[in-house]
Amino acid sequence: MSSPSALSSEALAAIAKARTKAELEAIELEYLGRKSGRISSLLSGIGKLDPAERAKLGQAANEAKRAIEAGLAARQAEIESARLADIAETEAIDITFPGPPLGRGHIHVLTQVRRQIETVLESLGYQVELGPEVETEWYNFEALNLTAGHPARENWDSFYFTPELLLRAHNSPVQIRAMQRIKEPPIYIITPGRCYRRDAPEATRLPYFSQVEGLAVDHALTVGDMKGTLLYMIQSLYGKARKVRVRPSYFPFTEPSFEFDVTCGICNGMGCKSCRHKGWLEVGGCGMVHPQVLRNGGIDPTRWNGYAWGFGIERMAMLKHDVDDIRLFYESDLRFLEQF
Ligand SMILES: [Zn+2]
């Protein structure tokens, strides 16, 4: 049988060769295991020895055990530090290395269309005018001839904060504010921005949407001036092949009032499935500004007159890109947005 010191030399040699934590654990079990470890086994016959021998063997066994334990701990530390050094070398972050390329985004299709409309009308001398999205009852309704109890108000079902304050249901309040601010015509403005109505989301409407409205106030403007301006805008956006038309309609804030249509871009006005075989698509409303609306804006209707129009930006984008569901613009689905 090996002596304790021979066993500890043998164990230390094995420890020096070990490369992994698992190998060290196997060595520990082999030599220091409580039941079948080789040091323990050495002591199994110790009861038969005389007391002096017994003490000597016990002491030698304890020394061997401590030497093996110290050897295991030292080698374990070496293996661990080698592992960390290895990680530091192979997985180190080189901060000078270029990062992965970032996908390049682009401007949302509705913003693109809004900017195109602005660019075209600015080239005609119109200025962009903005106003608050939270409006008073007076600016949103009263000043536009939509007095309390007026049946047309049903079409502008609104979100109220108080009986006096609401989310604007259209961008027309900005026209009143612009007239009050500018005071002396000529006035040529467009009012792009968000508005809100109590409509359930569906393919053609949403409770929030974007409008761009236009207002011109000058001397002796005519329906022809308005139609010519809108024709120029439509052809700039959709191409020279498009035609426009106005159809008599009714709005409380214009007199006369019109629906404004543009020829279908798919069939060029011949009629197809997309335009329900009409050849024409509705874009929005327009008309000559009602004298009382001018008065509410502080403009004298005996000296000046004007025309105005209001189109949905989503609607204009749908016509431009043949999109058939308005909700797609707000779902933030990249498969849709990346097409534009
Ligand atoms: Zn068509």
**Ligand 1 center from residue 63 Cα (angstroms):** 99
**Ligand 1 center from residue 237 Cα (angstroms):** 18
**Ligand 1 center from residue 114 Cα (angstroms):** 24
**Ligand 1 center from residue 269 Cα (angstroms):** 6
Contact (CB, 8 A) for 193 and 135: no
**Ligand 1 center from residue 204 Cα (angstroms):** 17
Q: Which residues lie at CB < 5 A from ion ligand 1?
A: 264, 266-267, 272, 274-275
Percent of all residues in the chain with a pLDDT value above 70, rounded to a whole number: 100
Residue 150: what residue type? H
Q: Where are the alpha helices (DSSP H) in the chain?
A: 4-17, 21-32, 38-42, 51-90, 109-122, 137-140, 172-182, 223-238, 291-296, 313-321, 334-337
Q: What mean pLDDT is predicted for residues 253-268? A: 94
Q: pLDDT grade, residue 118 (50/70/90)?
A: very high
Share the mean pLDDT of the chain.
92
**Cα–Cα distance, 314 to 329 (Å, whole number):** 8
**Ligand 1 center from residue 249 Cα (angstroms):** 23
DSSP string, 261-299: EEE-TTTTTS--TTTTTSSEEEEEEEEEEPHHHHHHTT-
**Ligand 1 center from residue 308 Cα (angstroms):** 27
Give pLDDT, residue 148: 84
**Ligand 1 center from residue 263 Cα (angstroms):** 8
Tokens of 116: 């195109």
**Ligand 1 center from residue 231 Cα (angstroms):** 18
**Cα–Cα distance, 155 to 239 (Å, whole number):** 32
**Ligand 1 center from residue 281 Cα (angstroms):** 8
Q: Which residues pair with 192 in a beta bridge?
A: 212
The CATH class of the 109-337 domain is alpha beta
Residue 78: what residue type? E
User: Of the given ranges (28-32, 151-155, 181-185, 321-325), which has the lowest mean pLDDT?
Assistant: 151-155
Which 3 state secondary structure label does DSSP give 165?
Answer: strand
Q: What mean pLDDT is predicted for residues 270-292? A: 93
Give pLDDT, residue 50: 84
**Ligand 1 center from residue 52 Cα (angstroms):** 114
The total number of residues written for the chain in this structure: 340
For tokens 């602005």, the residue is: 118
Domain boundaries, the chain: 4-90, 109-337
